[in-house]
Amino acid sequence: MALQLQIALDRIPLERAVRIAAAVAPHTDWIEVGTSLIKQFGMESVRQVVAAAPGVPVLADLKTADDAVFEFALAYEAGASSATVLGIAADATLDKAVQLAAEHGKEAVVDLMETTGPRRTELAARLPASVVLAAHIGKDAQHAGTDPASLLGAWSAGRRLAVAGGLTAEDLPGLAGAGDLRAIVGSAVTGAADPAAAAQRLARAAGRD
């Protein structure tokens, strides 16, 4: 199965995020509106990115920890095709996020940041196959050099997966053949002088272009 690419827009002005979304749309499978953009600009950031990249599904990186029905509904109403809930949240919160996604015909992604191995195994065994499990090394922890793919294990077999945390084009060929996997790349695109060219390099590395 081909590696999917998701470009994350984070820690930049909304106007720049919208321009980048339009520029990278031809080269990516997904566009992510990052947590920082949503916190700074609200659901307007989701609406504007959705409008800038018609035909490309948009993920709202809510990192929901509670009140999943309300938060996921906000994202879906703004045009998002997917939203994230934290794997360390209560099971009730995860179940409500998954249920709302199913009711709306949308996607739910569980961000596994800071989860333990046993928790990842538990979630993989319990949650529906439609749910994406995202192995994620958070921004503040990336300096330690941990590879997010190292969080994958026996629990990930047969699951829809994503990996995120400081990935670059050089990392993507090594992820090929890992099953139903989405590589999430942020600063390698948003920090580039030419985001469209950076997205093209990532797409080639992912075998997309």
98 vs 151: which has the higher pLDDT: 98
Q: What is the pLDDT of residues 51-84, one digit of tens each?
A: 999 999 999 999 999 999 999 999 999 999 999 9
Euclidean distance between CA atoms 87 and 113, whole angstroms: 7
CA dist 62 → 51, 98, 172 (Å): 19, 14, 25
Q: Which domains does the chain have, with CATH numbers?
A: 4-205 (3.20.20.70)
Query: What token pair was written down for 166?
Result: 């400081």
Q: What is the pLDDT of residues 3-43, one digit of tens each?
A: 899 999 999 999 999 999 999 999 999 999 999 999 999 99
pLDDT of residue 166: 81
pLDDT of residue 148: 64
174 vs 41: which has the higher pLDDT: 41
